[in-house]
Every structure is written in C-alpha cells, then in structure tokens.
Chain A
Amino acid sequence: MTRGGQPEDSRRAFAAVPWRELLEVIRQGRGRQFVRVSRKMLNHLCSIGLSEAQGMLTEVDAGPAAAARRDGRVPRDKSPYDKMPGTRVPLEKSPLMTGAPFELAARYLPDEEISERLQRWLKEDEASFFGTVVGDPRSTMPEIAEAIRRYNDVLRGRSGLAPSTLKSLRVSLIQRFLTEQLDYINVAKEVARITDFHDLLDRVIMTRGCYGKLGGKASGLLLAGWILDQPEARELGVGDIKTPRTWHIVSDVIMDFIRLNDLDDVMDQKYKDISQVRREYPNMIQLFKNSPFPPELVEGLARALDYFGDVPLIIRSSSLLEDRFGTAFSGKYKSLFVANCGTREERLLALQDAVSEVWASILGPDPIEYRRERGLQEFVEEMGILIQEVVGTRVGRWWLPAFAGVAFSLNEFRWSPRIRREDGLIRLVPGLGTRAVDRVGDDFPVLAVPGRKGLRAHASLQETLRYSPRRADVINLETARFETVDLDVLLKEVGTDYPLIDRVFSVLREGHLQHVSRVMIDPADDDLVADMRGLLDGTDFVPRVQALLKTLEMYLQSPVDIEFAHDGKDFYLVQCRPQAMSGDTAPSVLPHDVRPEDVLFTANRFVSNGQVPDITHLVYVVPEAYAALPDSETMRSVGRVVGALNGLLRKRSFILIGPGRWGSRGDIKLGVSVTYADINNTAMLLEVARRRGDYVPDLSFGTHFFQDLVEAGIRYLPLYPDDPGVVFKEDFLMAAPNRLAELLPDHAALEHCVRVIDVPAASGGRVLRVYQNADLEHAMAVLEEPGERRVVGRGATAATGSPLRHARWRREVAEDLARGLDPATSGVVAVHLRGSVADGRAGPESDIDLVIRFAGSPQQRATLETWLDGWNRALVALHQQNTGVRVETLLDAVIVESDEAGVGSWPRLPLAGEP
C-alpha cells in the first residue's frame, strides 16, 4: 500500500547529496513535492523580510499582473477584486515550478541552511501521508495502524518535524484511537507522542474494516501514563509509577462478532421493560458465550496470550460511554479475572469466555437502566476491552499484590471536621483491589487521607482491630479461581513470603500494635493485623499518592479517581478517571425557627452538603423487624419490595431509611439487598446505625454505589440514633399509617418490616425537608408546610438555582398537566416526559419537553392544542414570578399520532384516573 510515500532506498540516498542535486531529483521525479518545498522556501524567505521574495509570493498567489501592480509597475484597479472570482494562476507558469525560490535563497542563505531546511521539509512532506490517512474518516483502523508503522519507519531516528505538524498528527491519532472529546484531546495532545501510538499498536486487536476506538477506560489509563511521564510529575514527587502491561480489543470488534453470529436483534434489549431485561440477561450471556469469534480476534487473543505468558489477567470493559467526563458507568459493565493457567488451548478458551461475558454485560439491566435515566439509550454503545496483567506476584498457591486500592481527589467520607474535601481519600486493602472498590459488607479497607496524613479513622485499638481488613481477594493458581481468603489462613501458609509483610501488617502483642521487622515476624505465632501502618507511617506512600492525585488533577483539570496496586516491587496505576461530582454541593442553611416537635431526625456525623426538598413519602425498613426476618429469602424479598416501591413512588419525592448498609454485597443481614436500579428514584438514602450490644454497625463507605448516588444527585446520610443529642423520631415512623398493603397487596405480609408513610397524610398536609451542612457537620429533617420557604438560619446563604430544583418543579408541573388529561375525553393515549426535565438537568431557562401520544378526533386535537397553549401561557407567567426569568415558551409539547420509535422509552406520566 502506498499513499504518497517514496521507495525506501531513494529516501536514504537523499541524506547524503548536496541540496541542488537533491532538488533536481525531486523536480524530475516528484513535481508536486517539488512545488510544496519551493513554496516553503518562498514562505521562509518572506518571513525573513526579503522584498524580492514578497514580490515573488504575490506573483505566485495572484499571477504576474498582480506582482506588477504590487511593485507599482501597473496602476491598481479601482475596485478591488473581492467581488469577483480571482484569476487562476497556471501552476506551470508559477515561479514555484522553476525553482526560483531556491535560486533566490542561494543568493542570501548559506548552503548548509538551505540543505538543512530542505531535508526537514522533505521529512514533513513524507509524514504528510500519515495525516492524510489518519484524518480521513474513511480510513479503517488497520489502515491507520499501517500508516503509523510506516510513519515510524520513515522518521525513526530523525527529528525536525515542525511542532505544529506533530501536534496536528497527535490530535488526529487521539481522535481516531481514543476519543473525540475536546477536554481529553486538549490534555492528551500536549503529553502524548506519536511513538506512544506505535508502541501501542502491537498490542491492539482489530478486525479488517473496523473503525472503532479503544474506549474510555483505556483512554483514561493511557492519558494518565503519559501525564506521569512528564517532567513536572517527577518534580511533584510522584516517583516511578508503572501501568500494567495491557492489550486492547477495538470497540467495534463486538459489532463484527454480532454480525458474524446474527445477533443483531439482541441490541433491541434496551427497549424492553427492565424486568424483562433482567430476566433475559442470563440467556444473553450464554448466547454470547456460545457464539464463535471472528478468526482475526481469535488470532489476536492468541498473540496476546503469547505476550503475557501465564500471568493472571483481568478482562475489563472499556466502553465508549464508560468513564467519560461526568458519567460514571463504573461497575455497571463487568471486569473478569482469568487465572490463565493450563494448556495454551485451555487458556485461550478461558480468555474468549471472559471476553464474551464482558461484552454481554452491555445487555445487563443495570447499565440499560442507567443509560435510560441519562438519555444515553440511543448512543451506539460499542465496547472496547482491556486485557491487562493482574498486578501481583506468586505467593504460595496464590497470586496477589501486596496491597491495592483506590484514591479520590475529593473526600466525601470525612470522619473528622479537620478533613477537607480536597484532602482526598485512599482506600487500601491487602491483595487485589476489588475489596477496596466494591462494598463487601463484612470487611473493611484501611482509610487514609492524603491531605491529612496523620489522621486515623480509628482511635482505639479495638476500633483499629475491628476495622482492619481480615480477608483478601486473590487468584488461586491451583484451582484457577478468583477467591477470597482469610488473611490468617493465607499468612499461616505463606509466612513472611507475603510481599512487604512488615508494611502491610502490624503485630498485636500484649494489647499493643507494633511495627516489627520482617525478619522478626513469625506468622505462625504472631497475631498480624493488616492496618497498613508500616506503609502509611513508614514510607513515602501517602505523599506519593497525594502527588499523583495532584498531578493528574492539574493536567485533567478535574478531580480524579484512581485505582492502584503494588506487587512488592513496583507501584502501578491501574485506572484513572475523573471523579464524578454532583453539581448540587452547596451547604444548606440550617433553619433556626423550627419547633422541636417538627424535627423528624438529625445527624451530626458524615454530613455532606445539600438540601432535599418536599419529600412526600418515607420508606422505612424497620431495623429490628428486618433483623428478625426468618430467612435470607424473606430478606431478599424486602429488597424486591423496595425496588417495586422505587418504581411506584414519584421520582425524588421519597426517601429510603433502612438498617445498616443499603446494597450490601456481602452478608444480606447487614443491609437490604438492592442494586442501584432498585433505589434510583429516591431523593435520599439513609442508613441507620443502631447500637447493638457493644457495637455500632459501620457505615457503607462509598464505592461504585456512592458514585451513582452522587451522579444522580441522591443524598446519602447515615443516622446514629444512639448518639447523644441526636433526634430520631422512631415513634412517628412506627405510628404513621402504613400504605404498603395498599400499594403492593402481594407484599402485605411484610408490613411489619417495610413501612410506607405518606408524609402529608400523617402530618396534616406537611412535607419533609432535609437540610444538610457539611461545614457545620449537621443535618436536620423537618416537617414543614409545602411551598416556597424562606430559610432563616445558620450555615451559608440559601442554595439557589440547583439543576435538581428546576427539574423537580418542572417535573411536578408536567405530572399535574398529565393528570389533567382524561384519556376518555381528551383522546390522549399517553404523555411522556423527555429532555432535560426527564434526566434532572433542567436549568432556569429549560423548557418542559412532552411527547403526547394522541388517538382522538380532529376536534379533540384542536381542544388539546388550545388547552396546552393555555397551560404554556400560565406557566410562563408563573415561572417569571417564581424565578424572575422570562422565557417565551415553557411547555414544548409534541403531539404524535402513533407509537413512534423511541417514544416509549421516555418516562410515562400518569393520566387522570391512572395510579
């Protein structure tokens, strides 16, 4: 394949010949290239101020006549030629064809300079084919890959390309391989090198004719790696940080797979009812696993296995949506470990199996629900895949890193008022980092705050023992399985072979945790506690993580969220992405003028900022009743009831209060088993930590789940009813009438455990508002009259203009409107809400987008249009009164007479007479 390139032997020859000969060779053999270098020389001569060159330039650009006019040889036209097409200057007559610029140069410039410039321009010119290929949207990935290889071949060992050319090439590559997001490109173009892409290429699996990208996770990690190679990173004290060896599968290879196996109809899953999606998901996984791969993919995976050898691998999704700025799809798509043991055939099959399953996770209920909520349903969801070595080392029969974890720029889990959000947070575990990322329910990561290195989350020995990790996730190389082992068992077996044992573990002797040198540790007898004190106090680990976060934050201009691991020798960055943030984080004013009897609960620990207005329903899972449920199946049914209520109650108008940890993935007794899809409509999630015996249940320190809450603007608040000075009106929660049996008659048997309280009905028409102020470390839930409230109190100025507030008002208006439409008389079949109101992003100038499905008579339609116009006028006036913002139209209702594609996916509002 040739695209504007030259045979290699002639290129080598050029380097040695004097410039005149070289120029002549070019003129005879490559006319267009000759013109381009002549033009460059002419431009250069102009730039150094040669007036002869400027004359020549005019002649080149506008013809000999223009040059004559410029020199005053011919008078100027009265009317400039901007109203008429310019004259075509025949190229064959141009001075560029005659070599005049070089002749001129020879009079003023030394031969060495001309020679040097000519060489450089030729290189640039040779590289230009590359830009052509990369910049052409019709180029396939294999074509681009080939171009990069050739580019590297052409320019290996030779420098001198103009910085602007290089930058342009980098941008093109970033756009094609990684992303078209401007934020990303702006950073990446400054830190990436073209050779980085060349190095990457050998490890990218693609099929013929594919156009895809590497996906979000890959982009994030590559960018982080490039940033950490910058000299500034070293100056900030980041030190030597590696990234794991990685192979990539391009994002649209999945489409080849789907085509090959006639699976196109599976992509319609996203339009199905979520319960159907959930039901069919296991079949989808099996369908994917039983479908053959394109041969190029199998071959690519085989090469990847040869490259990695037999180290365990992790297969991670890297979809185009995942990890994009502002959208955390974290944990929605699968990441799977492969032990990579056995014969080559067995390993290849296991790898293929894992890739299928990760691909199939596109069709899982959680991601579909999540995308639906954010209006991302129609985004073509291709998924790249990362095949990474699992950072670790073989210890006995296990593979594990010494420690691993996650770190955040912003700390949303402050256990002390001295910790500022910008102090960040590290969650650390021995073994694989999965236990730091996921909620495991019955075990704990070690917490550290980069900005407050000295502060401990736990003050007493008992606390430290209670909240230190007791288990580790590892890969068992004998059974080829991912498993969780007790650290006691692991240490007894591997002894001091555990990497960095004296950094990860302290020794408990006589009621005292001590740092003991590795040589003096005897795991057979010593009581080892994974408190990480040796690491946190005895090394530069914390300052390094802080520098790492700061560096990434500085380049990405966004708080970041990273995953890392240490194999005992090296520190690896495993993932990097922007930290998801709610825009609604202003501290709330705490009202002073409330009567104590109107306060439903207060909190004074782990309070974040914000305000939850106008709650009409409370769902209270009674802790004692939940704990007393006879079996795990009944407990699981509580999760299902919560999921059903989540679907029934109006979005963001209810709050969930329950014992312990919502969504515990470990022991179901620690909290109600729900997924994000089961709680995504709540305005607030409250966890009640009641003292039991000598123990207060721990918090669900954040994870993927928490980021979901942040992303969706769902508040999280832990309640400690047994703390001094805390209000918790259990009597109200227990005495108010329970609407569960009415809403979900099939689950009436759980009435004693799940209480659904209609707040206005139980409190004389009032609503519940929750005011949270992290600066004062105080939150209060108050029963108040509905409507606008002028908050007088302490804390800060009233938070105004939050998107949620605008979206909420608009949503309520839309709901009221829909309830005013009687299907029997109006001809309206359904009203759907879409756009910024539907996904909670509405601002003060947003309109309310409705799609009204209509099947009535023309007369009914005319009536409907008049009625909607009346609504619009009234809303515009009301809105101006409320906000002072004048908009022309507030109601944008589209009437459709058929079930147009996609309409059904938007939330449907209940009409008059509907529940």
Chain B
Amino acid sequence: MAHDASFNPFQMARAQFDKSADQLNLDQGTRDLLRSPLREFHFSIPVRMDDGTVKVFEGFRVQHSDARGPAKGGIRFHPQETIDTVRALAMWMTWKCAVADIPLGGGKGGVICDPHNLSAREQEAICRGWVRQMNKNVGPVEDVPAPDVMTNPQHMLWMLDEFETIRGGRYPGMITGKPVGMGGSLGRTEATGYGAVYCLREALVELGIDVKATTASVQGFGNVSQYAIELYHRMGGKVVCVSSWNQAEQKSVTYFKAQGVDLDQLRTITDRFGGIDPAKARDLGYEILPGEAWLDREVDILIPAAIENQITGANVEKINKRVKIIVEGANGPTTPEADAVLSKRGIFVIPDFLANAGGVTCSYFEQVQCNMNFFWERDDVLGKLDAKMTAAYHSVSDLARKKSLYMRDAAYLVSVDRVAKACRDRGWV
C-alpha cells in the first residue's frame, strides 16, 4: 500500500501522549514540555565523495527528554526521513525506557541518505561528520546513540572512534550496539526473547496458572521467538505451534505438533532468517498448516514475535477461546481494532513496549558496563535483565489490576507518570 501522505507519526505519538496525560491529569506545563522534544539538532554534514565532489547531507538528533537520564535512541540512515518521524520515535524511546525503569531518556537521530547509493568509505565519512557536529551534545552522560534502520555495529564503531578522537580518551559508553570485544554486551541476542518470557512468567503467576500446564503458539521463528521458546520450555511450558516465513513458497507457514515442538531440532532445519524447511519439518512429524493457523490454535498463550499488524479486526475472532495471554514480542503486532476486541474478551495482553523492552534494557547494561569498563558474564547480564523486566512488569500490572486498566493503557500511564515525575522533581515544571 502506498503511504498515506496525511499520516503523521508525530501527531499520532502526541495523541497517544495526550490520552495518557488526560488520564494522569497532567498540568499544562508538563504537557507542553513533554508534547515536544526538549532539544532538536539539525545540521549539515559535508562529505567528500569517492568521485571527488562534495555532497552535503542533512543530519538530525532529537532529544525528546533527558529528565530520567541521558537520551537513548537509534541513528537511522533513511532516504525518506522526516523530522516528524524522528520526533515521534524519540518520544516513544522516552516511554520505552521509562516503562523498563532504566535511567535513560528518549532520543532519535539520523541522516537523510540511502546507503544503497553510498560506498563504505562515504558512509564512514557521514558517521564521522555526524559525530563532529554532535560531539558536544552526545556522550555517555548526555545522549547515547545506537544502531537503527540501515545502520549497524560498524557505523557505531566509526562514530565511537571519531568521538574518542575528538575527546581524547576512551568512552565506549558513548554509543551502544557494538560488537562483543569492542564494548558490546553478552546476552544481547537473547535479551528480547527472554525479556518477553520473564514478563509472561510473572503474568502466569499473577493469573494463578501453572506454566507447566500451559501451551503456546508462536508467530515467527527469528531471534526473539527462538529465545522466547527456549526460556519458556525451560520453565516447563510447551510450544505446540510456530509459524515462519517461507522464502521459497513466498508465504508464511505454520508448523504444528501437538506433543510440543523440539526447538533444537527445528533450529537444524532453519535458515538464518528463521525460515523453517517445510519438507524436512513434515518428515519430522510436524503438521504443515497455512500461515495464519498459529492464531487459531487451542493454546493458552499466543506470542506474536514476527512483524507489525498481524492480529487485525479481520482475524481477531479466530483466536481460540482457550487463549488467556498474548505476549507482544514484535513491535505493534496488534491493530487498534483488534486491541478493542481483545480488551473486551478479557485476554491479558502484555504490550509490545513492555514485552520487548529486554532489548533496550540490555543496551543500558552495555552502556553501564562500558562506563565502568568492566564486562559481565552472560549469566550476570541475563540475571540482571530478569530482575529489571520482572520489576517493570509488576509496576505495570499492579497499576492495571488496581485501577482495572487494560495493560497497554497501564504501561503508558506508568511511563508517562515516571517521566512527568522526574520533570517535577527537577523543578522543571
């Protein structure tokens, strides 16, 4: 579908904030402060191109809020970037860090460019140019960038190197998403999937359900799904169904096994994109079903961990009556129409920005480790992640339970309230 030109993500983000602000009855000053970014940087990055010409790229950094700590958020290389998209994403980062209760604010940045048109050397020059412009306003205690759309660990290392060259020291906590050995953290790969299941575990306890008596159906078989399944199985649950995108067939396919899927076995027949080989799966006794079949299985738990807009007004009614919990491992898997139905049916939803906050929490840990130049073992990282996610979950679910709120609304309220409180405590409002 072509993009609707009237679609403005910043307007959407503001509307969402306004709803929470109304519920929290925030004063006008706080609303005004949080409805707009605290700071915006727009700058030009001149780059000497491979052919000798100079091209000037437009760079941004939006720091929506640093009331709770240094701003945190990705750097995007995107040819159709707009400042309103960056503003919206920066605001969402503020809420995400706040709901996970990590001492970071929200930021986002980028450069209008298409890496398909740029050589590696030119991209390096853009990265270094970005840091030359922003070095006074980013850093371990100011604003901590990370990889995002079309940027990767290599870009982070170029940026870090430029920053350290200018500052004359080693500041690995200036940026996250670095490779292990160059300031990256162990446990990063598992963090999002595990984080979602830590939340699930707490939800089951709260709902009085024995995890060992539960079954689950998972959409997607990428990193998030695989680690979620791994941990859930270790806790005694049984995943009976996974779906994955089949590249050859050009459609998603659902794999069902009533006695439970064997994760290690499935991994041996899976490509690096999470695509399971249907023929081999059939040989291993899996029932091959259409892509949407993951949704209608008779299970207790659904974990959509693939892409956005998967549970929609059109298919939400297919969800089996037995389903009690939906854990949103992916970003935005549920459309607002479907959300309304789920809320009405009383299905317990662990919303995306809580359920998949394991990722940003691990980035925070990376930064912490860098700042003290002491790197933890994997189990330390995951143990601390468990503690953070568990606490984050409970603060949301407590509010939801006490105030009879839908989990998604409760999560927003918790995060906006935390940020508003920080602003008040600092005496800004």
Chain A residues close to B by CB (< 8 Å)? 415-418, 442, 452-462, 465-466, 470, 508-512, 527, 537, 627, 660, 667, 669-670, 692-695, 697, 721-728
Contacts and interface: CB of A to CB of B under 8 A. Distances in A.
A738 B279 CA distance: 38
Contacts of B122: 454
A511 B120 contact: no
A416 B245 contact: no
Nearest to B49: A418
A454 B307 CA distance: 32
Contact of B116 (A457, A465, A470): A457
Contact of A722 (B1, B272, B273): B1
A442 B248 contact: yes
Contacts of A670: 250
8 contacts: A415-B116, A416-B114, A459-B116, A465-B272, A695-B245, A722-B1, A725-B2, A726-B2
Interface stretch (B85-93, B99-107, B146-154, B372-380): B146-154
Interface in B274-330: 306-307
A728 B2 CA distance: 9
Contacts of A509: 179
B3 interface: yes
A693 B245 contact: yes
Nearest to B188: A510
B179 A459 contact: no
A511 B150 contact: no
A439 to B, nearest CB: 15
A516 to B, nearest CB: 13
Most chain B beta carbons < 10 A, residue from A418, A442, A660, A727: A418
A456 B120 contact: yes
A727 B117 CA distance: 24
B215 interface: no
A457 B250 CA distance: 22
Contacts of B32: none
Contact of A510 (B119, B189, B250, B252): B189
A629 to B, nearest CB: 12
B207 interface: no
B250 A697 contact: yes
Nearest to B115: A459
A881 B2 CA distance: 45
Contact of B250 (A462, A508, A627): A627
A418 B2 contact: no
A417 B251 CA distance: 32
B210 interface: no
Contacts of B271: 470
Contact of A724 (B2, B189, B247, B306): B2
B250 A692 contact: yes
Interface size class of B (residues with CB under 8 A): 35 or more
B265 interface: no
Interface in B108-164: 114-122, 149-150, 152-154
Contacts of A512: 152-154, 179
A721 B3 CA distance: 10
Contacts of A721: 2
Contacts of B114: 416, 459
Contact of A461 (B1, B152, B179, B306): B152
Given A510-B184, A511-B152, A466 B250 contact: no
List 8 A-B pairs, minimum CB-CB distance, nearest first.
A454-B119, A459-B115, A416-B117, A724-B3, A512-B153, A694-B307, A459-B150, A459-B116
Given A458-B116, A695-B247, 9 more contacts: A454-B122, A455-B116, A459-B116, A465-B273, A470-B271, A512-B152, A692-B250, A693-B306, A697-B250
B264 interface: no
Most chain B beta carbons < 10 A, residue from A510, A721, A727: A510
Contacts of A727: 2
B116 A454 contact: no
A142 to B, nearest CB: 54
B249 A455 contact: no
A442 B247 contact: yes
Interface of B: 1-3, 50, 77, 80, 114-122, 149-150, 152-154, 179-180, 184, 188-189, 245, 247-252, 271-273, 306-307
Given A442-B247, A510-B189, A627-B250, A454 B50 contact: yes
B245 A694 contact: yes
Contact of B272 (A416, A460, A508, A667): A508
A723 B2 contact: yes
Chain B interface, >50% SS class: loop
A416 B114 CA distance: 9
A457 B189 CA distance: 27
Contacts of A460: 115, 149-150, 152
A727 B3 CA distance: 11
Nearest to B119: A454
A462 B115 CA distance: 13
Nearest to A417: B117
Contacts of A457: 116
A458 B123 CA distance: 13
A418 B117 contact: yes
B113 to A, nearest CB: 10
Contacts of B273: 462, 465-466
A471 to B, nearest CB: 12
Given A510-B180, A697-B250, A453 B152 contact: no
A456 B115 contact: yes
A692 B116 contact: no
B250 A416 contact: no
A509 B2 CA distance: 36
Contacts of B179: 509-510, 512
B360 to A, nearest CB: 16
Nearest to A669: B250
Contacts of A695: 245, 247
Nearest to B154: A512
Contact of A692 (B115, B120, B149, B251): B251
A362 to B, nearest CB: 35
Contact of A694 (B180, B184, B306): B306
B119 A722 contact: no
Contacts of B249: 669
Contacts of A416: 114, 116-117
Contacts of B77: 459
Contacts of A459: 77, 114-116, 150
A371 to B, nearest CB: 36
A725 B1 CA distance: 10
Given A454-B122, A726-B2, A667 B248 contact: yes
A452 B80 CA distance: 23
Contact of A453 (B116, B119, B307): B119
B250 A724 contact: no
A457 B121 CA distance: 15
Contacts of A454: 50, 118-122
A667 B188 CA distance: 36
A627 B3 CA distance: 24
Contacts of B120: 454, 456, 537
Contacts of A726: 2
A454 B122 CA distance: 9
Contact of A627 (B153, B245, B251, B306): B251
B175 to A, nearest CB: 14
A721 B1 CA distance: 7
B152 A724 contact: no
B352 to A, nearest CB: 16
Nearest to A660: B250
Contacts of A462: 273
Given A510-B188, A512-B154, A455 B119 contact: yes
